[in-house]
Amino acid sequence: VTVITGYLGAGKSTLVNYILSGQHGKRIAVILNEFGEEIGVERAMINEGQGGAIVEEWVELANGCVCCTVKHSLVQALEQLVQTKERMDHILLETTGLADPAPLVSILWLDDQLESSIRLDSIITVIDAKNFRRQIDEHTNSSSFPEAFHQIAFADVVILNKIDLVKDNLEDLERQIHDVNALVTVVRSVRCQVDLNTIFDRQAYGVKELLEYSKSAPPNSRHDNSISTLCIYEQDPVCLTKVESWLEDLLWEKKSNMDIYRCKGILNIHDSNQLHTLQAVREVYEVVPAREWSETQSRMNKIVFIGRDLDISTLQDSFSRCKH
């Protein structure tokens, strides 16, 4: 499942239309809040659900894709979609007007033990290149925190759309995006015409992606409204129980007064030959063993944080107290 967010007018509907009408050879289910006029689906094609059906309306399209709206439980609707339709390659969840995708992540980030066929792949944020520049300018003269920055902070992929309307300085625009989220992948587009292979199957919440990321680290960055990406390191082994208590203090109790949106990293756990991975979105976190440390790999702890009012000294010092 890929979650798509973005400002009104950024191009979310354009992306959905491209997916629903394109000859890309993929069977993709798109779940919408409702069939709006901007979504190119003829009302005559829409099948309404029966009685208490979870999926309220759905339509199968000529290119093999499925488009539907959901009445009540998102997870139940996803399961029903998977069970009742032929195998889909991907599910795209369009979140009109949703500023904070974190609640959806907590719903979709299902435990492996549930053996669900649904897996959260990534969060995509669509940005209007021309208006994002205006939002930056307005933000410079305001104490408010733009919703667009909030959406970027949670994103795994940013589609920088309408680049044909911006004559120059795209690199500067991408730098602004990476100042908010140093981990995000930026894909440029005109009318959201993108290679779907660049935005789907990212496995952003999988072990493989974490291990790839751990080979390098993003530079510490700070946007001018206190949002930043920070990375902390610790060579010595840490106690798993202490790490979990530390995370709960940071994410649940918020004792440090930092607003942490996401964190991810690798951990060197005392008395374990297993490299452990850490993922967190808001209050939801997971620490799991991934694989054995290789003989050539330097054992260490490395964690990247994205959030507001982050203090690297506080994060580093408090994590150091997790040492065995």
- Domain range spanning residue 120? 2-199
Asked if residue 296 and residue 195 are part of one domain, the reply reads no
Asked if residue 183 and residue 265 are part of one domain, the reply reads no
Number of separate domains in the chain: 2
The pLDDT-based confidence of 45 (bands split at 50, 70, 90) is: very low
Residues sharing a CB contact under 8 Å with residue 85, sequence separation 6 or more, in sequence order: 29, 66
Beta-carbon-side half-sphere exposure of residue 228 (alpha carbons within 13 Å) = 13
Last residue of a domain, one of 166, 199, 232: 199
In this structure, what token pair is assigned to residue 125? 């944020």
Asked if residue 227 and residue 176 are part of one domain, the reply reads no
Asked if residue 247 and residue 187 are part of one domain, the reply reads no
Asked if residue 257 and residue 172 are part of one domain, the reply reads no
Per-residue model confidence (pLDDT) at position 72: 55
Match 């989220």 to its residue by tokens: 181
Round to whole Å and give the CA distance between 238 and 228: 25
> DSSP state, 122?
E
Per-residue model confidence (pLDDT) at position 34: 53
Render pLDDT for 176-209 as a digit per residue (tens, 0 to 9). Answer: 899 889 889 999 999 999 998 888 888 888 777 7
Asked if residue 284 and residue 141 are part of one domain, the reply reads no
Better-scored residue on pLDDT, 299 or 35:
299
Query: What percentage of the chain reaches a pLDDT higher than 70?
Result: 73
Q: Span 138-159, mean pLDDT?
A: 74
Of the ranges 4-8, 242-246, 291-295, the best mean pLDDT one: 242-246
Asked if residue 115 and residue 221 are part of one domain, the reply reads no
pTM > 0.75: yes
On the 0-12 / 13-18 / 19+ scale of CB atoms within 10 A, 29 is buried
Asked if residue 191 and residue 257 are part of one domain, the reply reads no
The CATH number covering residue 306 comes to 3.30.1220.10
What is the rounded average pLDDT for all residues in the chain?
A: 80
The pLDDT-based confidence of 42 (bands split at 50, 70, 90) is: very low
Last residue of a domain, one of 168, 199, 230: 199
The CATH number covering residue 154 comes to 3.40.50.300
> DSSP state, 171?
H
Asked if residue 151 and residue 230 are part of one domain, the reply reads no
Asked if residue 29 and residue 155 are part of one domain, the reply reads yes
Q: Span 145-151, mean pLDDT?
A: 71
| Torsion sign, CA atoms 30, 31, 35, 39 | negative
Asked if residue 96 and residue 10 are part of one domain, the reply reads yes
Last residue of a domain, one of 161, 183, 199: 199
The pLDDT-based confidence of 48 (bands split at 50, 70, 90) is: very low
Beta bridge partners of 235: none
Asked if residue 28 and residue 142 are part of one domain, the reply reads yes
User: Which phi and psi angles does 278 have, rounded to 5°?
Assistant: -125, 130
